[in-house]
């Protein structure tokens, strides 16, 4: 908490931070400057000097000592906290605090080198044993921080080449037609709200967070459509003073393209009609307007359902991939499928979500017989 009437706060790292308005953006919003000190008195002295420089028209003096990476990490995070979705910011913050600052935070920006970054990447892969995808994400964030640092630093920084690890393409498990039939029959037997939610995901390709946030008001039984306009996530709680480490957040879907309307088949519409309890504001997975089922719980439920069916390696995204594959098998128009899945382009649908079964490959090969092959 700040001292009364002042924008001077004590940070979690025990330093004091003083904030002041150093200008305004074209839209009229304030542009802030920051001063730091080991004590309240030092931070206030620097704040007073900064304000005096602004009044006199002189450039605000920066500390003569060289800045360290941790300083620019904090500034970069602060710059992005209102520019990206909350879930994205939590991801950025976690990677910076857990990986980048502990290893590189104390380094002077002038000491950064391609070799230092390569050693950092190597340790993440082989000492911390992180996946190549996670390491690539960390390095991407680091690259953005270095780019921001280069613009802010008064000195010219050395050129940095970052070599990203190759991310292997993992084959996604898809339910065969036989396994899908067996699984659907299992879900229909003594079906409750959660089983219905799993089946709805299989029939529409919805993501787990979208299913958890779905209310009956989003389903039109007359138009036979589902309006996807929210998603549910459990995120790290960044609120200061909070007693919980994580919290449930219901927000806009993953991207602008994820806000969409999904037409329902007659079969899916009949299922929805049998499950509807007449309360539009109720969550689909609970039938109550003030009680929901979070994604983590739904994943546990799915694991139990698939285990009882004798399946292994099935998760919620398997249902989404299976839906996309079934659509392609019946010659579904790709642009329409892309929009139903909430993708920004058909290319993503084809490259990531379409899996050709051996049966489909054989059917296509047999088409060559028409030309004598």
Residues in the chain: 373
In the structure encoding, which two tokens stand for residue 172, read together? 């996604």
CATH architecture of the region 177-364: Orthogonal Bundle (1.10)
The dihedral through the CA atoms of 77, 81, 83, 87 has a sign that is positive
For 86, the token pair is: 């909350």
Q: Which CATH architecture has domain 67-168?
A: Orthogonal Bundle (1.10)
State the pTM of this model: 0.71
Pairing status of strand 219-220 against strand 225-228: antiparallel
Look at residue 64 in the predicted model and tell me its pLDDT.
Answer: 39
Rounded CA-CA distance 148/92 in Å is: 15
Q: What is the pLDDT of residue 367?
A: 72
Strands (E), the chain: 8-10, 16-24, 30-37, 219-220, 225-228, 231-236, 246-251, 260-263
Residue with tokens 């719980």: 297
For each of the chain's 373 residues, which pLDDT tens digit applies? 555 457 888 887 788 888 888 777 666 677 788 888 888 888 888 888 888 777 766 555 544 356 889 999 999 999 998 888 888 999 999 999 999 999 999 888 888 899 999 999 999 999 999 999 999 999 999 999 999 988 887 677 778 899 999 988 777 788 999 999 999 999 999 999 999 999 999 999 999 999 999 999 999 999 999 999 999 999 988 877 777 888 999 988 877 888 999 999 999 999 999 999 999 999 999 999 999 999 999 999 999 999 999 998 899 999 999 999 888 888 888 899 999 998 888 887 877 766 666 666 667 677 776 666 6
From residue 47, alpha-carbon distances to 32, 75, 193 in Å are: 12, 17, 57
In 3D space, the residue among 178, 284, 182, 175 whose CA is nearest the CA of residue 227 turns out to be: 284
Give the residue from 169, 12, 14 showing the smallest Cα distance to 93: 12
């Amino acid at each position: 908490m700040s001292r009364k009437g002042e924008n001077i706060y004590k940070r979690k790292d025990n330093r004091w931070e003083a904030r002041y308005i150093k200008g305004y953006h074209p839209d009229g919003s304030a542009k802030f400057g920051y001063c730091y000190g080991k004590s309240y008195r030092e931070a206030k002295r620097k704040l007073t000097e900064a304000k005096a420089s602004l009044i006199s028209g002189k450039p605000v003096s920066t500390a003569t000592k060289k800045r360290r990476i941790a300083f620019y990490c904090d500034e970069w995070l602060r710059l992005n906290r209102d520019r990206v979705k909350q879930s994205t910011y939590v991801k950025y913050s976690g990677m910076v605090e857990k990986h980048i600052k502990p290893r590189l935070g104390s380094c002077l920006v002038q000491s950064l080198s391609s070799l230092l970054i390569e050693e950092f990447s190597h340790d993440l892969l082989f000492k911390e044993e992180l996946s190549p995808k996670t390491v690539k994400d960390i390095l991407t964030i680091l690259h953005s921080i270095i780019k921001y640092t280069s613009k802010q630093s008064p000195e010219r920084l050395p050129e940095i080449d970052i070599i990203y690890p190759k991310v292997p393409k993992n084959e996604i498990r898809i339910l065969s037609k036989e396994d899908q039939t067996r699984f659907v029959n299992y879900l229909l037997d003594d079906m409750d709200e959660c089983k219905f939610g799993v089946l709805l995901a299989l029939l529409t390709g919805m993501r787990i967070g979208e299913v958890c946030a779905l209310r009956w008001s989003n389903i039109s039984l007359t138009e036979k459509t589902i309006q996807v306009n929210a998603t549910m996530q459990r995120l790290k709680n960044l609120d200061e003073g909070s007693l919980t480490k994580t919290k449930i957040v219901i927000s806009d879907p993953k991207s602008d393209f994820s806000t969409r309307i999904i037409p329902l088949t007659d079969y899916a519409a009949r299922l929805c009609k049998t499950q509807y309890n007449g309360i539009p504001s109720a969550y689909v997975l609970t039938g109550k307007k003030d009680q929901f089922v979070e994604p983590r719980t739904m994943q546990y439920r799915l694991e139990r359902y698939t285990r009882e069916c004798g399946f292994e390696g099935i998760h919620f995204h398997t249902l989404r991939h299976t839906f996309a594959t079934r659509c392609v098998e019946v010659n579904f128009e790709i642009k329409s499928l892309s929009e139903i899945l909430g993708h920004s382009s058909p290319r993503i649908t084809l490259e990531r979500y379409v899996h050709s079964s051996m049966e489909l490959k054989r059917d296509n090969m047999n088409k060559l017989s028409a030309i004598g092959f």
